[in-house]
Amino acid sequence: MGKMRQTLEQRSSKLTGMIVLVWISVYFFTENIRSIGVNEQFGYYNVLFMVIGGILLILFMKKQNVNFAIAYVVLAFSVIWCSYSFLFLHYSFMRLLQTAISLCLPLFFVGVKLKQDVIMPAFRIFLILFNWLIVLLLIVGAADFLSGGSIQLYMAGTLYNGLEMGQLIRLEHSFGVYRFYSFMGHPLTNAQYFLTFFILNHVYARRNHFLINKYLITCVTLLGLLLSSSKTALVLGVFLVLFCSSVKKNRILYYMGIFIILIVILNTPLFQNNLMQRYISGLESGDITSGRNGLLEVWVNSRVESLGMIFGGGVGHSREVAESLNGNIFNFEYPLIMLAYDYGIMGTAVIYLVILLYPAYLLIKDRSYYEFVLFLVITAMANSNNGLANLGSDAVAQLCLLFFIIRNTALREREQPVPAKAANENYLLA
């Protein structure tokens, strides 16, 4: 009996470590980090996620911890698209591998269901590490802003020298507009990380307790979003701190504090000279979406190539279409349109079935309404930029694994302890 328990503890420890590694692979070793010091093309392949994630999925399927209906849908989509890409779009093996890692593999995790005593230890370890990452990100961002962007300019000439990120930093700096480029990447990436920071800490606290002060979480989130200079992210962040905080006592004082913080933020040079100026310029031009809606109007009124019903033109095809419109920007930015041009309408429908409709259905079915709102917030942020449609990025993996966390920590049903006799075979089953 003692030997069996020791064996189960060892298995559980290994499983916990593998789950943590999967999260680390997509949140810490992003495409931006992977490209530093090597080659920008190398950053498009998340090898750690491919290996550990693949092993975990095999283990989950073996123990029947997956919704096989979703798994079969994802498998069918993957096989059909990769076959079409190889035969008709002449994808190379490396491009197919890129598709498998960045798009297909993450979708399988949406259907995984685990017991809370399996997911929570891994969640705690990862959240501690993630919180430290966010604190470091905020400190670097504050220092960078106070130094006039000297830190990111230094990174542009060293870590990002010769990379697209370095070029973006120099270009943005030449415009005289401050945006927080960091060691994690683009300002929108940083903004999504600060939103994720708020969401993960509150999801964890629903099942355990806050690992850091809840008021500090609010302050860090708002300051980080201000540094990131994303209009959409700041609006979503304000929504979170106003309506999704876990403050139950002294709510009046909390809202007064939020009001004061927002007044201070609205009067900072960073807001006045950046977000406010961009918003005013958008109002004057009739487009507050930085040219996105303007490009959509050109697209609607043009005779450009229509969306493919079954198959799309392949990765990057949406960019080619956008460039042919000769608008103010050369990318649709909205993933829904980009994916439809790249993978076709049916392919895009499958993707959104897995990353949006199925997760929303599960959370509503489980009466996890709070978690449902949090999921909608991060989904809205993910769909406000082109990350989901960028093959080689970790955007799809991050969204799928975030739902993996939310779903498995939000389950309402009471779990029965696994009988000792059956524990050896079913230690994963939910």
DSSP track, 158-195 = TTTTTSHHHHHHHHHHHTT-----BTTBSHHHHHHHHH
Query: In the structure, what pLDDT confidence band is assigned to residue 290 with cuts at 50, 70 and 90?
Result: low
DSSP class of residue 273 equals I
Confidence of residue 413 (pLDDT cuts 50, 70, 90): very low
d(CA 305, CA 326): 14
Q: Distances from the Cα of 89 to the Cαs of 101, 124, 137, 307, 323, in angstroms?
A: 19, 44, 40, 16, 20
Provide CB contacts within 8 A for 204, sequence distance 6+: 123, 124, 127, 210, 211, 409
CA distance linking residue 60 with residue 395, whole number of Å = 23
Report the distance separating Cα 332 and Cα 338, nearest Å. Answer: 7
Give pLDDT, residue 37.
65
Q: Are 343 and 312 in contact (CB under 8 A)?
A: yes
Contact 181, 165 (CB under 8 A): yes
Report the SS3 class of residue 368. coil
pLDDT for 226-251, tens place per residue? 998 888 999 999 999 999 987 777 78
Candidates 131, 258, 146; CA nearest to 201 is: 131
Q: How far is CA 227 from CA 99, 159, 191, 211, in A?
A: 33, 21, 8, 24
The residue with tokens 């680390």 is: 24
Query: Is the model's pLDDT at 407 over the cut of 60?
Result: yes
Spatial contact of 344 and 310, defined as CB atoms under 8 Å apart: yes
Where residue 149 falls (left for φ over 0; alpha for ψ -120 to 50; beta otherwise) is left
pLDDT band at 373 (very low <50, low <70, confident <90, very high): very high
Question: Band of the pLDDT at 150, cuts 50, 70, 90?
Answer: very high
Helix (H) or strand (E) holding 342: helix 335-352
Output the CA torsion 312→315→318→320 (10° steps): -120
Task: Say how far apart CA 275 and CA 229 lie, in whole Å.
Answer: 6
Integer Cα distance of 297 and 302 in angstroms: 9
Residue of 340, 341, 306 whose CA lies nearest to 320: 341
Give the chain's length: 430
Q: What average pLDDT does this structure show over 333-345?
A: 89
Q: How far apart are CA 247 and CA 201, in angstroms?
A: 13
What residues form DSSP beta bridges with 393? 391
State the average pLDDT over residues 70-84: 96
Query: How far apart (Å, rounded) are the C-alpha atoms in residues 385 and 389?
Result: 9
What pLDDT is recorded for position 8?
A: 52
- Chain CA centroid to CA 199, Å: 12
Report residue 403's pLDDT band, with 50, 70 and 90 as the boundaries: very high
* Residue 326 confidence (pLDDT) above 70: no
Angle between helices 358-365 and 395-409 (to 10 degrees): 10
| Global pTM value | 0.89
Share of the chain above pLDDT 90, in %: 52
Tell me the per-residue pLDDT of 188-214, one tens digit each, with 9 for 90 and over.
999 999 999 999 999 999 988 999 999
SS3 assignment for 196-255: HHHHHHHHHHHHCCCCCCHHHHHHHHHHHHHHHCCHHHHHHHHHHHHHCCCCCCCHHHHH
pLDDT tens by residue, 104-147: 999 999 999 998 888 999 999 999 999 999 999 999 999 998 89
**Average pLDDT value for residue range 30-50:** 83
User: At residue 64, what are phi and psi to the nearest 5 degrees?
Assistant: 60, 40
Q: Do residues 199 and 240 touch, judged by C-beta distance below 8 A?
A: yes
Q: Does residue 415 have a pLDDT over 60?
A: no
**Which pLDDT belongs to residue 411?**
63
Look at residue 308 and tell me whether its pLDDT is greater than 60: yes
Amino acid (1-letter code) at residue 180: F
> For the segment 182-193, what is each residue's pLDDT rounded down to a tens digit?
999 889 999 999
Task: Check: CB of residue 409 under 8 Å from CB of residue 119.
Answer: yes
The per-residue pLDDT for 253 is 86
Tell me what pLDDT residue 425 has.
40
The pLDDT score that the predictor gives to residue 160 is: 86
Q: Residue 375 and residue 418: Cα distance in Å, rounded?
A: 30
pLDDT given for residue 85 in this prediction: 94
* pLDDT averaged over every residue in the chain: 85
CA torsion through residues 293, 298, 304, 306, sign: positive
pLDDT for 303 equals 73
Instruction: Give the lowest-confidence range in 189-193, 403-407, 413-417.
Output: 413-417
Which helix (DSSP H) or strand (DSSP E) does residue 408 occupy?
helix 395-409
Determine the average pLDDT of the residues in 164-173.
86
Q: Is the pLDDT assigned to residue 1 strictly greater than 60?
A: no
Q: Which amino acid is at 17?
A: G
